[in-house]
Amino acid sequence: MSTVTEQVRAHVEAKPGVHFNALASDLDIATGQAQYHLRKLRRAGDIVAEEIQGKTHYYSREYGPWERRVLAFARRETARTLLFHLLEAESLSADDLADRLEVARSTVAWHVSALAEAGILEKSYGERGRVVVTLTDPDATQRLLAAVRPSLTDRLVDRFTRLVDGGLGTGADDR
């Protein structure tokens, strides 16, 4: 395989769950070039692609569907921080998460719903009908979070979204 194909494969292995734009940016390759090499690796069965919440993420074959979802969400700053808080506290109310994350309640509600739909956490109802959130597999989640270091591009987009969220007070999320 070509050197660029090997670079793309190595990048996907080093950054599981990397999405297309971050991969092209990190490797400083053109969009068409990234598409070509990713398609080549997918056809060979060397990598797996999965669209999660509107972004296509790439993984080595070692990750199963649940692990791929955790890795994809872990690349998003608000979701990643939410997961860290749940690892630390085991379970939290949605209101406590909003306070800890310093984001709008609607942002937390969106993330909690998306993470619950992905099977990463569970929602239950505590006293006075408050939503309480717990991780479905804390040990595996912790292991997968350790494998993720978001790119500068990911962090800048997440922070811009949080800035807009705080400035407008509308509860925008970091999708």
pLDDT in tens, 55-94: 899 999 999 999 999 999 998 888 999 999 999 998 999 9
Number of structural domains found in the chain: 2
Boundary residue ending a domain (46, 63, 80): 63
**pTM value?**
0.80
Q: Tell me which of 63, 80, 106 is where a domain ends.
A: 63
pLDDT at 166: 57
Q: What is the CATH number of the domain that holds 52?
A: 1.10.10.10
Residue-level pLDDT at 123: 93
Exposure b/e, 91-105, CB count within 10 A at least 16 = b: ebbbebbbebbebbe
Last residue of a domain, one of 22, 42, 63: 63
Domain with 86, as residue range(s), is: 71-145
Specify the pLDDT at position 163.
Answer: 63
Reduced to 3 states, what is the DSSP secondary structure of residue 26? helix
pLDDT tens string 38-51: 999 999 999 999 99
* Digit-coded pLDDT (tens) for 104-160: 999 999 999 999 999 999 999 887 888 899 999 999 999 999 888 755 555 555 556
**Do 53 and 88 lie in a common domain?**
no
CA distance 37 to 33: 6
Residues belonging to the chain: 175
Tell me if 16 sits within 8 A of 50, measured CB to CB.
no
pLDDT given for residue 171 in this prediction: 44
